[in-house]
Amino acid sequence: MKLLHATLLAIVVTVIAFGSLAPIMKDAFAHGVQAQLQSRFVKIEDETFSATRLITKAEFAKRTFGNSDLETLKQVDAMGCDPARRQDVLIVTGRLVSQVKQDLNAWISLFTESSNAGNRWEFISRDPPGNVFTIPGGGEVPYKLCLSALEPGTYHAHTQLNVASVGPGLGPGMSIVVEGEPTEKPMSVANVAYQTILIAVGLGISF
């Protein structure tokens, strides 16, 4: 397990180092050039957010079970993705509509901007499941992201779609306010691996 963590950390460091060699590429992303290119291939339609105000996972655990230690957080995890029961859950839905004839491989995530340095969210589930899925040429794929808020702050959140060999693009987005105490929970190996894929795709690395 330690070797796996070390390997993933090395990958992240390598990808970030690559990014420092590509300022022109990053400037293009900052001005929306890559997002415009991506929208010529796939459009993010009907982006919908289940809430605009949430509490953190730790805050929900404390209010519901009396504390927010790791064992209590596991109890929260067992509740799954149900915003009617969990006030820390955000669900994002929409449709990915292909604009081209060929099949495209893609990754989907949530991109958030905030003045809060933590800026942490935890995936509960994704649909389509897994990291990589195919958008059929001329077709569409409905998506659903379920996340738990880990850090307080005011976020501007967007669906982030990464298309292989094309680049990333963002949905229209919405402002989300998260309140409560920060969640002291280490990021899982699976999340580290997924974030590594997203960083690499964002920097234009093809898989």
Helix, strand or coil, per DSSP, at residue 128 = coil
Helix, strand or coil, per DSSP, at residue 45 = strand
Amino acid at 97: V
Residue 156 near residue 178 (C-beta atoms within 8 A):
no
pLDDT tens-digit series, residues 131-142: 899 999 999 999
- Domain covering 2-202 in this structure, CATH number: 2.60.120.570
Q: What percent of the chain has pLDDT over 70?
A: 69
Q: Give the residue from 191, 201, 111 showing the smallest Cα distance to 155.
A: 111
Q: How confident is the model at residue 188 (pLDDT cuts 50, 70, 90)?
A: low
Give binding residues as ranges: 156, 158
Separation CA 200–CA 207 (nearest Å):
9
Give binding residues for Cu(2+) as ranges: 156, 158
Separation CA 65–CA 80 (nearest Å):
16
